[in-house]
Amino acid sequence: MAVAADQLERLRTLGLAEIDPDVSAVWEVVLNGQATTFAKQIRDFPLSRSTAAEVIAREPTDQLSRAFRCLLLNRISRAGVMAPGAGWLNRGEDDHGIASRWYPKTLSDRITLTNALRDKVTFFQSDGLQVLKKFAKYSRAVAFVDPPYVVNGRGAGRRLYAYHDVNCEELFRIVKNFRGGMIITYHRSVVVQRLAKAAGIQRHTITVRTGHTRFKRELIMYKPRHQ
């Protein structure tokens, strides 16, 4: 979906961009009218492997059913991965199986609290690169960018996301021309570091723990706004 320039000029708070239609459905439901129904559906759902399988197998008929299926799949999948082929939790945390990360009250409370901020948030179902381009000329804009960890079709992003194909070179061209401040998290690779250096971005290496409780090195990059 194209983002109109006048929308961005009126935006004075937070803008979120997501291209995946399933994840987008969650944001649309939470921010644009059905948060109360969504929260109740989560609290009332009798979770089991059979009820979960029934929901996952059913084709969504509207945004609410699409959002619920997306959230359920995220909660019962290993490390929250929803890409095709990802598996469900077996033993899970403390042998709680697929219920390990299903906290109905906590989830519904978070939805209610997020909905309370709806006047301060604008959601775009759009390619994040296109949204960054629209913001590029605004020196007061601040962006946080967390793209799928993939370069030229290879990398962890392919395993983690249905929409994983990001043009890394295009991303850093946009970053170089972005007048506002920006923070980017990305995987540590020769290609990424070369492109970041060319775009004039400060780079720092940090240690993070993965969903499989392993430690790896990642990049956190920072670009100050143009004065």
Residue 80's φ and ψ, nearest 5 degrees, are 75, 10
Structure tokens at 217: 């090195």
pLDDT of amino acid 147: 83
Cβ atoms 184, 172 nearer than 8 A: no
Name the pTM for this structure.
Answer: 0.79
3-state helix, strand, coil split of the chain in percent (to 5) is 45, 20, 35
Q: List pLDDT tens digits, range 103-154.
A: 999 999 999 999 999 988 989 998 889 999 988 998 888 999 988 766 544 5
Cβ atoms 124, 3 nearer than 8 A: yes
CATH number of 18-119: 1.10.1020
Residue ranges, comma separated, of all CATH 1.10.1020 domains in the chain are 18-119
Task: Please check whether the domain covering 129-223 is classified as CATH 3.30.110.
Answer: yes
Cβ atoms 112, 29 nearer than 8 A: no
* Count of beta carbons in the 10 Å neighbourhood of residue 2: 10
